[in-house]
């Protein structure tokens, strides 16, 4: 299940959210589903409060910390910081 496959279809954000929720209901330890739904909430739906627990769950499920996601978590915990993710999204 790829975030790009949903995001590539304009206006399919609700479908993507439903699919990731369904995947997480089936397997709460599905790390990539946590990451993808976090990105969806954070960047595309502008719902950072919904994204944060999924980024955290993703980190907890990994055998080693993902440094990039760790920075995103800090950004969400400190909302006044500038967003590297938004810049990355704008730059493709």
The Cα 70–Cα 51 span in angstroms is: 13
Better pLDDT: 63 or 81: 63
Confidence (pTM): 0.78
Better pLDDT: 69 or 19: 69
The Cα 48–Cα 24 span in angstroms is: 18
pLDDT at 88: 53
pLDDT above 80 (res 50): yes
Q: Supply angle C-alpha 3, 8, 13, rounded to 5.
A: 65
The tokens describing 45, both together, are: 């739906």
Better pLDDT: 16 or 35: 35
pLDDT above 60 (res 67): yes
């Amino acid at each position: 299940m790829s975030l790009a496959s949903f995001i590539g279809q304009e206006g399919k954000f609700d479908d993507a959210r439903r699919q990731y929720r369904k995947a997480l209901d089936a397997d709460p330890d599905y790390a990539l589903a946590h990451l993808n739904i976090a990105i969806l909430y954070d960047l595309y739906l502008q719902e950072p409060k919904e994204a944060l627990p999924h980024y955290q769950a993703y980190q907890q499920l990994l055998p080693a910390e993902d440094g990039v996601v760790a920075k995103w978590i800090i950004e969400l915990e400190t909302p006044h910081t500038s967003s590297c993710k938004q810049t990355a999204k704008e730059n493709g």
